[in-house]
A = this chain, B = another copy of it.
């Protein structure tokens, strides 16, 4: 049977993701130093404490942990998250305003699916989280990029974009953003920008999806309020255990209006019905034992050191724009003097180093800036390999620019 001839439009729209998967696979080959994937450093995991929490779960809640759990999440975990968000993010919400998801991305997906129809424009920072773009495209939404700089999304650019789309008869309803230590740029929006962008969102009645995946990994500078805490009604706040416990749990959550949360839960019935009771119970036991806070502290120290090591190694690197020194998160971002897809192939094939070419993070991957952009991740690579990785990358860049 020729299955290729049977694929739906959705399956065709997602096919582009294949190229990125291919590159990530190449990056995992032996001998390659990878600055590509955004994986946590395994040294932040607290295996012994995880084992203890899991043993406790199976002793105290074994039968419930192995069975189906409530669609919106285990009640005690939703209560725990509400309390923790109040303490850490000054977000006030009730447990009923929280949906536990299988990773933050599942929450983003359901938010897009609940609030946009095929053909609708969806607003993104330019550049933005690649998988959120892919989900939007799979759902037949039309990603529209909004110009951003190192202080965050540019409010005038947002306003202009909304007005232009409205004039074209396709006023946008949804804005997706990552205001804290963004993937891929590492950028953090200033407080001023947060307020200004929310004002524009208010004026045009946009629902705002705030991705807080890296938000707790601040290792420098002052705490800033999330958009959710500044505009509780308008913002759909998406967070994840992936960076504060481990991606292997596949657990995240959404905090939003209660009626919306119920609808997102119905959409979740059609992905996995409910998230794992076992990993939910684990997250709860680990969190109650203080595991999340202890792990975040350890992660902050480790990633600060790795960021510094990479910034140091990049001191003489010939890039077009200076590397932003992020206050948190996993990533460095810049532009260079060549097509970064070409650079990537040369880097992998001849120099044994990998990164992610920037174009996949843009609503329009063919734009001039998209094609010369580059994302380096310092989260997973071993610290002592960073200088060698950057040396190899510099060599590949000189060759590519000169070729």
Give chain A's interface residues, CB within 8 Å of chain B. 1, 3-4, 6-11, 14-15, 17-18, 21, 37, 39-40, 42, 45, 47, 50-51, 54-55, 58-59, 62-69, 71, 102-103, 105-106, 109, 113-118, 131, 134-135, 138, 173, 205, 207, 233-234, 242, 245-250, 257, 259-260, 262-263, 265-267, 269-279, 282
Contacts and interface: CB of A to CB of B under 8 A. Distances in A.
Given A131-B270, A272-B250, A3 B257 contact: yes
Contacts of A69: 248
B11 A103 contact: no
A77 to B, nearest CB: 13
A67 B40 contact: yes
Given A17-B269, A270-B138, A278-B249, A10 B68 contact: no
Contacts of A62: 45, 47, 50-51
A278 B68 contact: no
A118 B10 CA distance: 10
Nearest to A17: B266
A267 B47 contact: no
A254 to B, nearest CB: 13
12 contacts: A1-B233, A3-B263, A6-B173, A11-B114, A42-B63, A45-B66, A47-B62, A102-B272, A135-B270, A246-B278, A248-B276, A279-B279
B47 A6 contact: no
Contacts of A269: 14, 17, 21, 131, 134
Contact of A273 (B59, B67, B105, B262): B105
Contacts of A109: 270-271
Contact of A262 (B18, B54, B233, B265): B18
How many copies of this chain does the complex contain? 2
Given A117-B8, A276-B248, A276-B249, A134 B270 contact: yes
Contact of A51 (B55, B117, B131): B55
B71 A21 contact: yes
B275 A250 contact: yes
A119 B105 CA distance: 27
Contacts of A6: 115, 173, 207
A45 B116 CA distance: 42
A114 B270 contact: no
B18 A45 contact: no
A233 B6 CA distance: 14
A42 B233 CA distance: 40
Nearest to A250: B276
Contacts of A234: 1
A65 B248 CA distance: 6
A63 B265 CA distance: 31
A66 B50 contact: yes
Given A47-B63, A63-B42, A109-B270, A247 B17 contact: no
Given A18-B266, A102-B102, A68 B42 contact: no
A212 B21 CA distance: 30
Given A10-B117, A21-B266, 6 more contacts: A3-B259, A3-B260, A8-B116, A14-B267, A134-B269, A250-B276
A113 B1 contact: no
A247 B66 contact: yes
B106 A271 contact: yes
Contacts of A257: 1, 3
A276 B279 contact: yes
